[in-house]
Amino acid sequence: MPEQHSDTILTQLADLESRLAFQDDTIETLNQLVTQQSDQLQRMEQKMKLLGQRLQQLQDRSDDQQGNDPADEVPPHY
């Protein structure tokens, strides 16, 4: 009976080692994915910031060209 018990423990140990190796691989894969997504998110945030700045510049230019400066507007009672 002790030999059978030993075989069972060895089988369980091998199963646990296999599961641990699989989990380690999965964790490493997920870590790489999170790192890639973090880098991508930072690049996208930077692009959004630049697009916001460009949009503001275009709006400022449009306002300047159309003479929409509030200081240039005639008050409504004139």
pLDDT in tens, the chain (78 residues): 578 889 999 999 999 999 999 999 999 999 999 999 999 999 999 999 999 999 999 999 988 877 655 666 667 776
pLDDT of the residue at 67: 63
pLDDT of the residue at 66: 76
In angstroms, the CA 64 to CA 57 distance is: 10
pLDDT of the residue at 2: 74
pLDDT of the residue at 12: 97
Whether residue 69 contacts residue 63, with contact meaning beta carbons closer than 8 Å, is answered with yes
